Structure formats: structure tokens, C-alpha cells
Amino acid sequence: MNATSIQRLTLVTDFGAGIYVGQVMTRIASLFSGAPVIDLVQDLPPFRPDLAVYLLPALVRDMPRGTLYLVW
């Protein structure tokens, strides 16, 4: 996927409730102006990338093309 084909960005994290998601979304929005930033998941179990790997295919299956997933 090249930068011109990105239509939206989604954020998938274990950050939980708090200021971090807002900070990251604000910074991403400043770098990719015009593309909406969507907080898809923010409450994955901390330090469990294996669970993110398990969940991501189910999330991606129903999302539109042009979606960039930032899994953190």
C-alpha cells in the first residue's frame, strides 16, 4: 500500500483508557491530513502481541480497502 492509497488509519493498541490514545491519534492526524484516524481497539491485554495477531485477521476481514492498521 502506498501513501496515496491510504484512505483511513486505524489504531489497535493495549494502551487502555487514558491520554495516550488521544496523543497518538493527534500526532497521526497531523502527519496524514485528510485521512480519518479511527480508534478501533485500545484495550487489548497488555504485552500480549500474540492476541493482537489472533484478533487482527477478524478485524481486517470486514474493513474497506485503503485502511492502514497501526498495531502497537
The predicted-structure confidence for 20-42, as pLDDT tens digits, reads as follows: 888 988 888 888 878 888 888 88
The mean pLDDT of the chain is 85
pLDDT in tens, 2-25: 656 888 898 888 888 888 888 988
Domain count, the chain: 1
Phi, psi of 30 (to 5 degrees): -75, -25
Classify residue 3 by burial, with Cβ atoms within 10 Å: 0-12, 13-18, 19+: exposed
Cα(14)–Cα(60) distance, rounded to whole angstroms?
A: 18
Cα(49)–Cα(6) distance, rounded to whole angstroms?
A: 24
Q: For residue 65, what are the domain limits?
A: 3-71
Could you tell me how many residues make up the chain?
72
Phi, psi of 43 (to 5 degrees): -120, 35
Q: Whole-model pTM above 0.95? A: no
pLDDT for residue 3: 59
